[in-house]
Amino acid sequence: MGFDSARVETRSLVAEAPVTGSVVVARVTSQNMAAKSNSIWTTRIAVLLILLGALRIAAQTQPAIPAPDSRFKADVLVVIAHPDDDTAVSTFLAKAVFDQDKRVAVVFTNRGNAGPNAIGMEQSKALADVREIEARRSLAARGITNVWFLNGQDTPTQDVLHSLETLGHGQALEAVVRIIRLTRPDVILTWMPAYVAGENHGDHQAAGVVAVEAFDLAGNPTAFPEQLTAPRWHGGIANYGEGLHPWQPKKLYFFSDASHPDFLKGHGPTYLASDISRTKKIPYAQINRQAWHYYATQLDFNQQTLDYFLNMPEYFVLGKSLVPSAVTDDVWAGISGKPIAYAPPPQYRAPVRSGISLALGGPWAFYRQFYRAHGLKALEGLVPPQTALSWDHQLWVPLLLRNDTGRPADITLHANLPAEWSGDTHDRLYHLEPGTAYPVQLFLTAPASSNQSSPERLSWTALHHSAVAGQAHLAVYMEFDGVSQ
Ligand SMILES: [Zn+2]
């Protein structure tokens, strides 16, 4: 029925009211005119009330809005890169699921298509299909079934910026924000976004970067608003509104695969594989072994190395807490069931610069800005600039030379290297206009071996008018070259 016909019908119903009233009046002919008039108005009001009542009843019956899907509610959302990365926090996960009744959801940013295969010929896309199922089986055996895989490419370098590029940074961020809004976790647990000596996979770091950004965006109603729009009719098909709600996680924790983890101690809780599971009555290391069992393609190391992994202490670093919690408190300290308000990050502000300066560039320069932009004070200065390398391998060193003097400057870059390093070792002269930066790219080759204990300490000095204007330092641990820089 159209609007006009509805209005006409209402008008005709009102017009009939005096007719009905006149019938009533005809039955009481002994009453005077005043009484007749009162009776007519009483009838008119009665009819009007009946009509209004009918309208009121029609306006009350609206269907209730369904609540967010409780099957996907998580206490902790783990944001990691490769199928098997979960083994780096398997003690924590076993304790959370089996002993603390916590709900865990996991996001993998890629499916491990560039990994090794210790048991078969399947590689590349076929290996990705295999590894996704390995992860699903391993996690399901530990009671974790809400697991998502993003479309990143497994990119085995140590450069986080390279991994962010192949991941599809924006698309991955959109996806992780969506999954946070869907799973509504109290805690986000992710790889530490930092350049460390260790495996230091760029994909691990990139997962951490995206998780931090998503932690700071998921509660923002202006971020990815298409996820928050109500569908016009949720029971229909081809809706465009995703029907989610903003969600602010409460705590953000990092873990790392640093080969020298001492710097992590005391910056968060530690979970020990030697502890006994309250419900399983066995050490967590045994549960971890079962978890690893499903990752057969990735068991390309000997029993001794596996035992090391199974028993590794899990050092967490508290990145942020928006609820009262001491740094080394348990992950669940300060968590209540109530949602909290959106907590915007401080945002990036360019530092005030002056004079000539020299600093490590590339990923190191990115992290200096990233920590400030997201208020990650816990990570500022936590890891002294470091990398790892095998003897006789090539080292890439990006440096950032700046001239903020207001005048053109000729700057000499001098390398201070341990014995027998070769490659870009000679002094270099750079001419910089005022307010400009020069991204220096150096390539060095480590000596075949050395009697000195690791790490090798390398530094560079910027000289302006023969005076030291800036210095950059890098510690190189000569021990491991798992993925190239
Ligand atoms: Zn990995």
Residue 123: per-residue pLDDT: 97
Q: State the pLDDT confidence band at 454, using cuts at 50, 70 and 90.
A: confident
Residue 449: per-residue pLDDT: 81
- Residues 326-358: tens digit of each pLDDT: 999 999 999 998 999 999 999 899 889 999 999
Q: How far is the CA of 410 from the centre of ligand 1 (A)?
A: 44
Q: For the purposes of burial, counting CB atoms within 10 Å of the CB of 9, is it exposed (0-12), middle (13-18) or buried (19 or more)?
A: exposed
Residue 93: per-residue pLDDT: 98
Q: How far is the CA of 54 from the centre of ligand 1 (A)?
A: 65
Q: How far is the CA of 85 from the centre of ligand 1 (A)?
A: 5
In angstroms, the CA 426 to CA 51 distance is 95
- Residues 94-105: tens digit of each pLDDT: 999 999 999 999
- 378: which DSSP letter? T
User: What integer is the mean pLDDT of 282-299?
Assistant: 95
Residue 1: per-residue pLDDT: 35
- Residues 380-392: tens digit of each pLDDT: 999 999 999 888 8
Q: State the pLDDT confidence band at 4, using cuts at 50, 70 and 90.
A: very low
Sheet holding 317-321, edge to edge: 146-152, 104-110, 76-80, 187-191, 251-255, 317-321
Q: Which residues contact 230 (CB under 8 A, 6 or more apart)?
A: 241, 243
H-run or E-run covering 174: helix 169-183
- Residues 232-274: tens digit of each pLDDT: 888 888 788 999 999 999 999 999 999 999 999 999 999 999 9
Q: Which residues, by Cβ under 5 Å, contact ligand 1, an ion? A: 81-82, 85
SS3 138: helix
The mean pLDDT of the chain is 89
**Residue at 208: amino acid letter:** G
Q: Which residues contact 101 (CB under 8 A, 6 or more apart)?
A: none
Q: How far is the CA of 128 from the centre of ligand 1 (A)?
A: 13
Residue 469: per-residue pLDDT: 97
Q: How far is the CA of 385 from the centre of ligand 1 (A)?
A: 22
pLDDT at 6 over 60: no
In 3D space, the residue among 191, 290, 92, 201 whose CA is nearest the CA of residue 299 turns out to be 290
Q: How far is the CA of 222 from the centre of ligand 1 (A)?
A: 33
Residue 30: per-residue pLDDT: 42
- Residues 140-198: tens digit of each pLDDT: 999 999 999 999 999 999 999 999 999 999 999 999 999 999 999 999 999 999 999 99
Q: How far is the CA of 295 from the centre of ligand 1 (A)?
A: 12
Q: How far is the CA of 247 from the centre of ligand 1 (A)?
A: 28
- Residues 60-72: tens digit of each pLDDT: 888 888 999 999 9
Q: How far is the CA of 303 from the centre of ligand 1 (A)?
A: 19
Q: How far is the CA of 327 from the centre of ligand 1 (A)?
A: 26
Q: How far is the CA of 173 from the centre of ligand 1 (A)?
A: 19
In angstroms, the CA 150 to CA 162 distance is 17
Q: Which domains does the chain have, with CATH numbers?
A: 3-60 (no CATH), 73-321 (3.40.50.10320), 355-478 (2.60.40.10)
Greater pLDDT, 56 or 205: 205
Residue 237: per-residue pLDDT: 84
